[in-house]
Chain A
Amino acid sequence: MRKALAFMLVVVLLSSIGTAGAEDASKIEIVVFAAASMTEALQRIAGQYQAVAPNVTLTFNFDSSGTLQTQIEEGAYADVFISASQKQMDALDASAGIDKNPDAQDFLLQGSRFDLLTNTVVLIVPEGSDKGITSFADAGTDKVDLIALGNSDVPVGQYAQEIFAFLGFWDQLNTAGKVTFASNVKEVLSQVAQAAVDCGVVYVSDAATGTGITVAANAPAGSHKPVNYPAAVLSNTMQPEAARAFLYYLKGEEATGVFTEIGFAIPQR
């Protein structure tokens, strides 16, 4: 019995050493921290990338950009970071200036940052909703009792605040207690789909992948700063070539096809 156990232990040790070595030789793992709104798009692209670079395994961490920024600052390992707004990327960029990067952090590989995507902010309502909500302005009326927004740590939440300030009733929304704040976009989608709230503000790319919701309106023109998704390689990366190669692929035709299908747009670069 003991001999059998000892034998098994040796086999396990050897095989782990063996595979570790093998990984160094051929398999590469790229860790991608990306905004939650890119979940479906990036997962589809990962499938395509398997054919292009079979020795590369993509590992994703999808969450709100704010959470990802915090994780990177706390020392979490990642090769690539794609944020849903400039704010989080700026905070990590040494070249962003003292007001955007107050702690003078330097997490990005200089020269690798670029704007990957843009997105549109939309107002969504539960499928089959009979409240007659057709525009962002309706949120300020009695038609809307409760609206779900991302909190100030979530990029789409910041844009929503900008939009309602632009429309002139952000403060009223708050004092009337009409806003429930969510920690990320997926929460907003789920609350609208459940009809727990009358409407919510998300990106069109999220609305495209959500079920049980309908897009009621686009954000009025000029109501918020353009939504840009910056992407960059992180300075701690252990395989800069592979990371750069993946980001390059994301700019390519195949990846662009997936992005636009879901509702993202490609910015002028």
Chain B
Amino acid sequence: MDLFPLVNSLRVAIISTALTFLIGIWAAHGVTRLPIWLKGVLDSVLTLPLVLPPTVVGFFLLKTISPKAPLGAFFLQAFDIKLTMVWYSAVFATTIVSFPLMYRTARGSFEQLDPAWEACAQTMGLRKRFIFWRIKLPNCKAGLLAGTVLAFARALGEYGATTMVTGYIPGRTATIATTVYQLWREGNDGLALQWVMIDLVISLAVLVAINLLELRGGAARARSEA
């Protein structure tokens, strides 16, 4: 059995989760410091991919990174790099659709922080960078972990936008989700089911691992407060 879809799905999901983690936290932290009216507007825009059907996201992506579209044409001419029909096209799609999950969870975490900490730290002469990395982030660990799990799960399960930008090239761009679809279309239910089971096992493994981490974190906290 050709395991490329498994490798590709995992690689795409891990890369896009890493990207979402970084960009999501940066955006969430940035938004909390904006005036209220701007906050509302940006919040809606950044949460949009959560509400839009993935095919709509795929449509907008194609209009941007297709070889004849502005960004796609630029990369093709300037760097001879294709943005669609390659394995990393899926990374664009999955990052966009899973971004809101990380962003909203991170924002919730930041807003729950006690504002007195930042105020106090400022009067103590601590700079923004220190405050962010050593005071804010460590106190958001639980929330950020939850967001990462959600983002990873969403990335692993992405189909609609992915299939529109990567097509289905066995051995080059196939993911578990697109493979299952194609196998079902060709009437190969047996193989399709095998892939479904693999996907279930991975998803369960990831969720169980994260739950264990959360439990351990909770136990450590309980011990320290005893």
Contacts and interface: CB of A to CB of B under 8 A. Distances in A.
Interface string B65-97: 011110000000000000011000000000000
Nearest to A191: B167
B171 interface: yes
A67 B173 CA distance: 23
Q: Is the interface of B mostly helix, strand, loop or mixed?
A: loop
A33 to B, nearest CB: 17
Nearest to A179: B169
Range of interface residues on A (Cβ < 8 Å): 20 to 34
B186 A177 contact: no
Contacts of B57: none
A105 interface: no
Contacts of A179: 169-170
Contacts, number: 55
Nearest to A175: B171
A138 B221 CA distance: 66
A180 B66 contact: no
Contact of B66 (A66, A148, A181, A194): A194
B185 A151 contact: yes
B85 A196 contact: yes
Interface in A152-200: 152-153, 174, 177-183, 191, 194-197
Interface in A124-163: 126, 146, 148, 151-153
Given A151-B182, A180-B167, A182-B167, A195 B173 contact: no
A148 B67 CA distance: 15
Nearest to B69: A194
Contact of A153 (B168, B170, B173, B186): B186
Contacts of A191: 85, 167
Interface of B: 62, 66-69, 84-85, 167-173, 181-182, 185-187
Interface of A: 66-67, 126, 146, 148, 151-153, 174, 177-183, 191, 194-197
13 contacts: A66-B185, A146-B169, A153-B187, A174-B170, A177-B169, A180-B169, A181-B168, A182-B168, A183-B181, A194-B62, A195-B66, A196-B66, A196-B85
